[in-house]
Structure 1
Amino acid sequence: MVPHLVTALTGPISELEQRILESMPAVERWFRLEWMEHTPPFYSSVDVRNAGFKVAPVDTNLFPGGWNNLTPEMLPLAVQAAMAAIEKICPEARNLLLVPENHTRNQFYLMNVATLARIFRAAGMNVRIGSISPEITEDTAITLPNGEELVLEPVNRSQYRLGVKNFDPCTILLNNDLSAGAPGILEDINEQFLLPPLHAGWNVRRKTHHFKAYEEVAKRFGKMLGIDPWLINPIFGHANKVDFAEGNGIEALQESTHSVLTKVRKKYKEYGINDKPYVAIKADNGTYGMGVMMVSDAAELASLNRRTKNKMSVIKDGQQVSDLIIQEGVPTIENIAGATAEPVVYMMDRYVVGGFYRSHASKGADENLNAPGATFMPLAFEPEHVMDAQGHPGELLPNRFYMYGVIGRLAMLAASYELEQTNPEAEVY
């Protein structure tokens, strides 16, 4: 089930939201049957956009940071989910090594690491933090903004096992998305559980593969619910071998952009939507909101300025961009204190454990909010009952966060399809 959280939305319930809320028993049964056939990613977060007329995921992260943005009240849910996930993989698990990104100077990211460590310690694990950063050559204590101290230890590697000094873990939890590739120190580990697997990293993953799997999930879910799958699924296309600096591949990018915009315009006309369609063009293996631009006319791509070309050419860890996803833009109707906002749903195993709003005061409803200047607004638990004028309990409030939890889990299910398809150890028939 999905926690009952406050959302920024207070207006009338949309037709789509009403359909999902009314169908809760059928929805939960559908997910239950899916999880009998597929293994959920160990943990994930999903950026969701609610346009009112449609609700869809726009990005799915299989190495989620930002756990420090969840409220303390949500952590018991994460602990329960962590216990369930660990018990399923290794019931006798005792020692867990948490391997973070190499952001040793990003204290907000390190607060996320500290929160993850706290969750797994509360789940009954001995937790140490092992860094693969070349900067960490000895135990390094870092004082975080909240006064907490975090100790990063250099990892050591035997033939098949990874650990830190005087600590031999049975489970290794990666919070490193492998954008620069899987380092050799993490390869050929076959005596320990590595979570998530290496093929979940951006060295292998592609957004186009994920949204192709999501398209399949949305069709099946839409059929069960009796809705047009477009209402929960962003149309997308792709373009490969694009070089913004040299101007190569731009025509193919324009053709794909034009194709996606044409399909979206057709849907807008079908549903009587007067908004101007746009697309988000993103690096196919992008992360951290880098390598993203918004376009409402394919002709715009013929005259990009140098700054935009530079922004689109290189992403995290200096990776060159050549393959792109062209994704239908989903505007957001969410707004917090005058700032444009979007919910981010956090999951562990098959469970929704919480979420928060990413908001940006200087971005519009049709822009990328995962950009410098973004702030994170915690979501509180909704009071269980409303009170009438006499102070008596009223009817149970509808869980307005439930719809976001459904979309998040659909994206998580698509990620499980995706991981099955890219698993190098999968049997080929």
Structure 2
Amino acid sequence: MPTQPASRPVRRPSSGRPKPLALCSVFLLTPEADAKLDGISLRAALKADGREYLFKIFERVMRCQPGQSQRQLIVQLDALYPKGREVPPLLDLIRRAIYGDPVAISEAESVGLWQCWKAGLGERVPFHQRIAMDHAIEVEQACLAILADLRDKSFDRVAAAIAFDQRLRPYATDTALGCLTSATSEVTALPARVACLCEFLLSQVARVDVAMQLRRGEKGSQSFSYLVGTDDGKRCTPGGNLIRWIQTRFGVVTLEGLLALNAKGQAPAVIDESTLKRWSSDAVFPSGTKLGQLVLSVLKSRYDVGGVVQAELTVIGAHYWAARRLHKVLQIARRLHAIDRSADERIRWMQLMNDTTPETWCRRRYPLWIAHWQERDEVASGT
């Protein structure tokens, strides 16, 4: 498995103290960092599923200590691999490669971090997350040949490779490629890489959007486009738009109506109107746990059939995922835009995105990404 080049931390916008963005494969987030966008601790999720060993294995492989010998790594991994339990074939391949098997080493060189995570997680993730994961793997595979140049800080070669590869070119503007071409250090290369990351994350939501429209039985499900809103010059409010969409889906006009439906449930969610107002105004993004309890309470008060409830939870869960993703990518773009505007030496961040503000960029690019994935699916299906 190719070693992922370490990146100088990019500060991630969020409430409180910003945390660094962990990049891999040129402009992807690591699976662990990506899960945090969804408000999920990958380690906690795997631990709850009895598979914390997966997290520890990848942590050891990807974060080898300086000066650590191969023998020391082997000893550590031997202690982590479950005894008397079958492990995914890809993890076995990694183990054999670390042990020095030449065939395994050759095969492992074409395996990326995202591909490893998918092998470990299996098919236990929802449909929309599988589509997003496969999208990351597709980009990761396209980046494998570039990683050596990235490690060598040959950023002009990295930019040329992105420009040449049809799988990667859509994520980089001409300005971003120019920035990367002229970069002389990890610091000066980061703005272009993060610009590509933002474009990728936005396109990922659009790709899931299109996939859900095409999925059998869900062609009537509403597109995620409403989450970015209309081009009215106002702030994008994915969280607030999600709450209004849920109101409409449940046939109520007001937040009071939503609370009234909740009160009819056998086990009403503990939530008050002030919380709903903060969510609706986008003052704070909706809590996944609390919103999930509210939605489940309303659904159980309306439907007796468990299958109907589960189907609704699946659709609403996908819309929540999309809203949170859009909320986070906008946070990243807004924070960097704000930092850039106040800096003495500006990098002209929004020019790397070929736009003037994060809001106009998001609203302009999202429908273009929808059209991109629709066209690609039509070509693939021969229609």
TM-score by length of 2: 0.27
Task: Decide which structure has greater strand share.
Answer: 1
Task: Decide which structure has greater helix share.
Answer: 2
